[in-house]
């Protein structure tokens, strides 16, 4: 953990500033292990392997920890030679100006850090939060960058003081929490007035829950992640060649995507065949393993954000339910 993270960290319970009570330094500004304490409520949290830990690793999101430690490099732009994550972050946030050195940007549910890697190219400080031990994968990839900070914490109890951050994005995360409305409403608190928020959530439309993935998930979400991944590797040689043909069909292609529960990005020609196969394994696991997958309705998301103090809420024309706004 870099010392400057203390500027924004706060008690996840009472939101007061935290103090470093014990520490072992790697360098003058980098803490490897230590304790963070809150004067107000007396709680303490450990810093382990250079990351402040506000939760135990074994929780509802542990399949994501497994997934992102296994596939940590697959979706990182600078490692795969494509700009998928860059395009998505720019399209889904619409943040056109570059963030500057005094500004703090938060990535909620950062996983292995695909979007964090893009955000950290600006001069600003970026903080990646994840409830799973995916933060360890992100630290391995991005921890060496001076402006990247990682924290293991819950979206329901974000460990930041009130109103200290300039922007916050949360892409593909909210539906995987046990209470999506509560998760959404927890983010605006940490933003400054006029701080920007960008969220993308799976959308619940008329037939969404009839998608084959939702039918299979009744069973697969209870499987041990290792067993599920082994099953996916067994299934791929049969289903993959089928999707190579069926997903490309005009009109009917959409129906087959609904019926066949694997991800194959036939519409992304910039990915090589090998990359597409790798992404398919990763995203099929991502569809079937999470403990929660609760797509949301647009009206509900707008309501929750309004009640949490977000204004100028707009839906953007991107896949999924992509909404931006700013704190009042
Ligand atoms: Zn406290």
* Cα-to-centroid distance, 15 and ligand 1 (Å): 6
User: What pLDDT, on the 0 to 100 scale, is given for residue 55?
Assistant: 96
Distance of CA 169 from the midpoint of ligand 1 (Å): 25
Kindly give the distance from the C-alpha atom of residue 43 to the centroid of ligand 1, in angstroms, as a whole number: 6
In angstroms, the CA 173 to CA 16 distance is: 26
pLDDT, position 267: 82
**Ligand 1 centroid – CA 50 distance (Å):** 21
Per-residue pLDDT of the chain (328 residues; tens, 9 = 90+): 999 999 999 999 999 999 998 777 777 788 999 999 999 999 999 999 999 999 987 899 999 999 999 999 988 998 888 899 999 999 999 997 789 989 999 999 999 999 999 999 999 999 999 999 999 999 999 989 999 999 999 999 999 999 999 999 999 999 999 999 999 999 999 999 999 999 999 999 988 998 999 999 999 999 999 999 999 999 999 999 999 899 999 889 889 888 998 888 888 888 888 999 999 999 999 999 999 999 999 999 999 999 999 999 999 999 999 999 999 9
Indicate the pairing of strand 51-52 with strand 44-48: antiparallel
Q: The whole model's pTM is what? A: 0.94
CA of 19 to the centre of ligand 1 (A): 11
* Ligand 1 centroid distance, CA of 35 (Å): 14
**Ligand 1 centre distance from Cα of residue 119 (Å):** 30
Q: Are residues 191 and 183 in contact, defined by beta-carbon separation less than 8 angstroms?
A: no
Q: Domain-by-domain residue ranges, the chain?
A: 51-203+296-327, 208-288
Q: Please name the fold of domain 51-203+296-327.
A: Rossmann fold (3.40.50)
Which residues place a Cβ less than 5 A from the ion ligand 1?
11, 13-14, 38, 40-41
* Residue closest to 165 by CA, chosen among 321, 1, 10, 2: 10
């Amino acid at each position: 953990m870099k010392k400057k993270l203390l500027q924004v960290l706060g008690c996840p319970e009472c939101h007061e500033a935290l103090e470093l009570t014990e520490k072992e330094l790697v360098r003058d500004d980098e803490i490897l292990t230590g304790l963070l304490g809150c004067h107000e409520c007396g709680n303490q949290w450990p810093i382990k392997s250079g990351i402040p830990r506000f939760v135990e690793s074994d929780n509802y999101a542990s399949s994501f920890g497994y997934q992102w430690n296994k596939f940590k490099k697959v979706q990182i732009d600078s490692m795969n030679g494509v700009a998928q994550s860059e395009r998505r972050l720019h399209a889904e946030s619409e943040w056109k100006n570059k963030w500057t050195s005094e500004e703090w940007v938060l990535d909620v549910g950062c996983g292995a850090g695909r979007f964090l890697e893009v955000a950290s190219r600006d001069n600003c400080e970026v903080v990646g939060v994840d409830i799973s031990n995916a933060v360890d994968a992100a630290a391995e990839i991005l921890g060496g960058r001076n402006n990247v900070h990682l924290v293991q914490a819950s979206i329901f109890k974000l460990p930041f003081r009130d109103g200290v951050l300039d922007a916050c994005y949360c892409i593909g995360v909210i539906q995987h929490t046990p209470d999506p409305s509560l998760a959404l409403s927890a983010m605006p608190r940490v933003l400054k007035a006029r701080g920007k928020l960008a969220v993308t959530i799976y959308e619940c439309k008329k037939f969404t829950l009839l998608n084959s993935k939702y039918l299979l998930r009744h069973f697969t979400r209870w499987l041990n992640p290792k067993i599920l991944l082994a099953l996916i590797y067994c299934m791929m040689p049969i289903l993959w060649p089928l999707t190579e043909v069926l997903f490309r069909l005009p009109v009917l292609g959409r129906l087959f995507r609904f019926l066949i529960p694997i991800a194959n990005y036939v519409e992304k020609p910039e990915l090589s065949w090998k990359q597409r196969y790798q992404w398919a394994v990763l995203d099929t696991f991502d569809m079937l393993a999470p403990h929660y997958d609760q797509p949301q309705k647009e009206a509900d998301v707008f309501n929750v954000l309004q009640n949490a103090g977000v204004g100028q809420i707009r839906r953007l024309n991107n896949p999924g339910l992509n909404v931006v706004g700013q704190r009042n």
